[in-house]
C-alpha cells in the first residue's frame, strides 16, 4: 500500500505567520540558541575575499522584472560572484533551513539508524504525515526533509539528537559560524517563520556548496520522486520533490525550495548547462521560478567562459 503525499496549500503556515505579525516581538515559536555560547575564535570570511566577475552590461531594465528582494548567481566551484542584488541582506529563509538540518544530522547519525517519527507528528506546516508508530531510517527521514520539505522529518532529526532539541539548534548555529555564514541565525530546524531566524543569499550559497560536498545529500536533492518505507510495518510513503523546475528542466540538479508568509518564495537552484554549473539563489520572491529562469536567460546571453574563467558581455 502506498500513500501519496499531496502538497498542502500551507494555509496553516500562513495563519500562524499572520499570528506572529500581530504579536510582533512578544511571540516566538521557540527559544533561540544562546549566541554567547558559540565559539568566538572563528575567523569569518567576508564575501569580498572571493573573486567577483566584472559585469560590463549595466542595463537594469532587464532585471527590473525580477521580483526577488535578493538574488545571487555564483560559480559553485570558485565561489566567484557573477551577479547579485542585496546578497548580504538578512531575510527569512523558510525551508532552506533544512539544508543545515541535514548537515547536522549527517554528523550525528548513521544513514541506517532507525528513528521513531512520533516526535514529529504534531509539528506545524508542511508534513509528510507519518503515522503513529512509524519507524524510518535516517536516510529516508533526510529524504523526507529535503525532497518533500517535511517539517515533521526535520523535527524528528532534531528531537533525536544526542544532546536533545536545543543541542541540535546550538549545533546548527555553531556550524553556521564554522562555515562563515555571518548573516545567519537558526532558531528551529524547519524554517517556520521566526523573527530571529534570518540568513542571506550569500550565506545560502555557502550552505548549498557544503551540501554538494556530501555525495549522499547531493544525490538526495536531485531526486524528483522517492518511496520511503516504514521499517516496522512495510508501509510506503510516496514523495515528490517540491521544486517545480526540477521536474521541467534537465539542467536543474537541485537544491531546495522554501515558502512562508514572511519569507515569501525562496529557491536555491544548481543549474548545469554547457559543462558549466551555476548556483542561483532567489529570496523574497513573488515568483521564484520565473525569477530563476530570467536569471538563467541572462546567463545564457551574457556569461561566457574561457580557460575556466567567466566573463560578462
- At residue 25, the pLDDT reads 39
Q: 42 pLDDT band (50/70/90 cuts)?
A: very low
CA nearest to 172, candidates 155, 192, 158: 158
Q: Bridge partners of 137? A: 114
Classify the C-alpha dihedral 115-247-221-225 as positive or negative.
positive
Beta strands in 51-209 (DSSP E): 70-75, 80-85, 114-116, 135-137
Check residues 28 and 154 and name the one with the higher pLDDT.
Answer: 154
- Give the helix/strand (H/E) hosting 100: helix 97-108
Instruction: Choose which CATH entry (3.40.50.300, 3.90.1150.10, 3.40.30.10, 3.40.710.10) describes domain 2-17+43-312.
Output: 3.40.710.10
Pairing label, strands 236-240, 2-4: parallel
Q: Residues 172-196: what's their mean pLDDT?
A: 98
What pLDDT, in 10s, does the model give residues 60-96? 677 889 999 999 999 998 889 999 999 999 999 999 9
Q: What is the pLDDT of residue 136?
A: 97
Cell 538563467 maps to which residue? 296
Phi-psi map region of 46: left, alpha, beta (phi>0 left; psi -120 to 50 alpha): beta
What's the chain's average pLDDT?
Answer: 85
Report how far residue 260's alpha carbon sits from residue 4's, in angstroms, rounded to the nearest whole number: 23
**Is the pLDDT at 31 greater than 60, yes or no?**
no
Strands 114-116 and 135-137: antiparallel
Residue 206 has a pLDDT of 97
Strands 70-75 and 276-285: antiparallel
- pLDDT mean over 113-129: 94
> What is the distance between the alpha carbons of residues 244 and 261, in angstroms, rounded to a whole number?
19
| Interatomic CA distance for residues 184 and 260, integer angstroms | 17
- Give the domain ranges of the chain: 2-17+43-312
Cell (9 digits) for 265: 518564495
The Cα angle at residue 297 between residues 91 and 7, in degrees rounded to 5: 55
Cα(225)–Cα(52) distance, rounded to whole angstroms? 36
Amino acid at each position: 500500500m502506498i500513500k501519496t503525499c499531496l502538497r498542502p496549500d500551507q494555509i496553516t503556515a500562513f495563519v500562524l505567520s499572520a499570528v506572529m505579525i500581530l504579536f510582533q516581538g512578544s511571540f516566538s515559536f521557540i527559544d533561540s540558541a544562546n549566541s554567547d555560547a558559540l565559539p568566538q575564535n572563528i575567523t569569518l570570511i567576508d564575501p569580498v575575499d572571493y573573486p567577483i566577475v566584472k559585469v560590463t552590461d549595466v542595463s537594469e531594465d532587464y532585471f527590473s522584472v525580477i521580483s526577488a528582494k535578493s538574488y545571487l548567481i555564483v560559480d559553485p566551484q570558485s565561489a566567484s560572484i557573477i551577479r547579485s542584488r542585496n546578497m548580504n541582506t538578512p531575510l527569512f529563509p523558510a525551508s532552506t533551513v533544512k539544508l543545515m538540518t541535514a548537515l547536522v544530522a549527517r554528523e550525528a547519525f548513521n544513514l541506517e539508524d532507525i528513528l521513531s517519527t512520533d516526535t514529529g507528528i504534531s509539528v506545524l506546516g508542511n508534513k509528510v504525515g507519518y503515522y503513529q508508530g512509524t519507524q524510518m531510517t535516517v536516510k529516508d527521514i533526510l529524504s523526507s526533509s529535503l525532497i518533500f520539505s517535511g517539517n515533521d522529518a526535520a523535527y524528528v532529526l532534531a528531537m533525536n539528537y544526542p544532546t536533545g532539541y536545543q543541542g541540535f539548534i546550538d549545533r546548527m548555529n555553531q556550524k553556521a559560524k564554522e562555515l562563515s555564514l555571518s548573516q545567519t541565525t537558526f532558531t528551529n530546524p524547519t524554517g517556520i517563520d521566526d523573527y530571529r531566524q534570518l540568513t542571506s543569499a550569500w550565506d545560502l550559497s555557502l550552505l548549498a556548496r557544503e551540501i554538494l560536498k556530501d555525495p549522499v545529500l547531493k544525490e538526495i536533492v536531485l531526486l524528483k520522486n522517492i518511496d520511503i518505507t516504514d521499517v516496522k510495518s512495510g508501509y510506503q510513503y510516496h514523495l515528490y520533490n517540491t521544486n517545480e523546475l526540477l521536474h521541467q528542466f534537465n539542467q536543474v540538479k537541485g537544491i531546495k525550495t522554501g515558502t512562508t508568509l514572511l519569507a515569501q518564495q525562496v529557491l536555491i537552484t544548481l543549474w548545469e548547462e554547457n559543462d558549466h554549473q551555476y548556483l542561483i539563489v532567489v529570496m523574497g520572491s513573488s515568483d521564484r521560478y520565473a525569477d530563476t529562469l530570467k536569471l538563467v536567460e541572462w546567463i545564457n546571453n551574457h556569461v561566457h567562459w574561457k580557460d575556466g574563467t567567466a566573463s560578462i558581455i
